[in-house]
Amino acid sequence: MEHIFSSSIGKKLVMSLSGMFLMIFLIIHAVANVLALFGREIYNDVCHFMDTNPVIQVMVPVLAFGFMIHILYATWLTYRNLKARGAQTYAVGTKTKASSWAAQNMFVLGLIVVGFLALHLYHFWAKMQLQHFIGGHASDDPYSLVAGLFRQPLYVAIYLIWIGALWFHLRHGFWSALQTAGLNNSKWLKRLKGIALIYATIIALAFASVPLFFLLGLDHL
């Protein structure tokens, strides 16, 4: 067990496995968010289902816990690397010209992602799912909550910056995680990078579509 946390491969494996929790978490929430484009009733029904369904209530906290491990472990590794070797992060190793910009800035991108998630949780999760856990009063109209925030240009601008950071983070992290898990031959590497690009782009477009939908007033058409 000690070897897993001390070796280079072990560190990458922990980061990869915990990062997969984030990937699944984002798929679930991207699908739920996109349903806001189909109207108030559908979106509110989906939110109610996610807030009250026992399977979802167990699955989401588990995925969130895995994501928290990803964040904390990345922070710990970055601190150790900075202390030992200077400005390097877990994803970079020795920086070369071949290293991608995303690989060199995974921790910074991660901080942007986490920072916005905290803001997002404050505005949405705290007023919906959290209330079911603590016995409080959840919002009766999540659709209006989403629409109200996404009609604010500043909030949408911040949201789109988050999506950009998320796209870069996912594009590199997706194929890197699977490569660490064993799909690391030259044939698979090209395929993984292609799949990672598709996955990151679909997730980014799904999340971006909702704020733009409300900001442009398309819900009134």
Side-chain-facing half-sphere of 202: CA atoms under 13 Å: 14
Least confident piece of the model among 28-32, 83-87, 95-99, 119-123: 95-99
| Structural contact between residues 147 and 216, judged by C-beta atoms closer than 8 angstroms | no
The whole-number average pLDDT for the span 206-221 is 92
Q: Quickly state the pLDDT bin for 48 (edges 50, 70, 90).
A: confident
Q: Which residues of 77-107 are buried (b: 16+ CB within 10 A; e: fewer)?
A: bbeebeeeeeebbbbbeeeeeeeeebbbbbb
Predicted TM-score (pTM) of the model is 0.76
| Structural contact between residues 115 and 158, judged by C-beta atoms closer than 8 angstroms | no
Residue 159 corresponds to which amino acid? Y
Say how far apart CA 9 and CA 5 lie, in whole Å: 9
Quote the pLDDT of residue 173.
75
Closest CA to 130 of 50, 63, 29: 50
Residue scoring higher pLDDT (94 or 175): 175
pLDDT tens track for 132-185: 666 677 778 889 989 999 999 999 999 999 899 889 888 877 777 666 655 566
DSSP state of 135: T
Quote the pLDDT of residue 85.
61
pLDDT tens track for 57-77: 788 778 778 777 877 777 777
Residues 6+ apart with CB under 8 A from 190: none
Residue scoring higher pLDDT (140 or 202): 202
Quote the pLDDT of residue 207.
93
pLDDT, the chain, mean: 78
Quote the pLDDT of residue 200.
92
Say how far apart CA 30 and CA 120 lie, in whole Å: 13
Closest CA to 138 of 148, 147, 128: 128
Which residue in this structure is represented by tokens 């996955």?
199
Give the percent of the chain with pLDDT over 70. 74
Say how far apart CA 117 and CA 15 lie, in whole Å: 19
Helix 153-180 to helix 186-215 angle (10° resolution) is 170
Closest CA to 153 of 218, 94, 215, 210: 215
pLDDT tens track for 3-35: 555 556 666 667 777 777 778 888 988 999 999
Task: Tell whether the model's pLDDT for residue 39 goes beyond 60.
Answer: yes
Quote the pLDDT of residue 186.
67
